[in-house]
Amino acid sequence: MTIEAVDAQKLPRLLELGADKCIPCKMMKPILEELTQEYAGKLQVEFYDVWKNPAYGQQYGISLIPTQIFLDTTGKELFRHQGFPSKEDILAKWKELGFDFNSSPKAVP
């Protein structure tokens, strides 16, 4: 799926720009899988291997991998992080940005 195709889904997105053979990127894989499963329908998580597909790295101007880019529902970049964050750090940043994926929708009377 291309980056542009995902824009049509209108979910906030977490882009992981890394490489399959990068050690910190490998450490991120289980975190990304957990986020994908736990927040399906609320958050789109995507991984792009910039060694295999350098255009992704060029598109976002990254200089270090892994880099995580937080995008809102319109595709606007809200924040980027370089290096290895924990799952808790990622969720805390989303909450700080106004996206609390753990809150339940309020009941409508």
User: What percent helix, strand, coil does the chain show, rounded to 5?
Assistant: 35, 20, 45
Is 22 among the catalytic positions? yes
Alpha-carbon distance 17 to 87, whole Å? 16
Residues 6 or more apart whose CB falls under 8 angstroms from that of 108 comprise none
Q: Which of 11, 14, 17, 25 is catalytic?
A: 25
Is 25 among the catalytic positions? yes
The residue type found at 33 is E
Q: Which of 3, 6, 7, 22 is catalytic?
A: 22
Active-site residues, by number, are 22, 25
